[in-house]
Amino acid sequence: MCNVGKVDRVVRAVMGLGLLGLGAYLKWHWLPLVAGGVLLLTAVLSFCPLYKLFGLSTCR
């Protein structure tokens, strides 16, 4: 079940890595680490629960 397309996955992965890097750099901020982890997870799985909730899909 895919609802995250290829371009969307790349954008999520880049943003996720950036947020993980920011969280690691700031050392004590957990919010960028959690948000980055969620973005990376949705990129890897090609599934976003919020897209499912709202009936959206960027997959072909």
Mean per-residue pLDDT, 8-21:
95
Domain boundaries along the sequence of the chain: 6-54
**How far apart, in Å, are the Cα atoms of 46 and each of 6, 12, 17, 40, 58?**
8, 10, 16, 10, 10
Q: How far apart are CA 23 and CA 9, in angstroms?
A: 21
This prediction's pTM? 0.87
The answer to whether 32 and 52 are in contact (CB under 8 A) is no
For the segment 24-57, what is each residue's pLDDT rounded down to a tens digit? 888 878 888 899 999 999 999 999 999 999 999 9
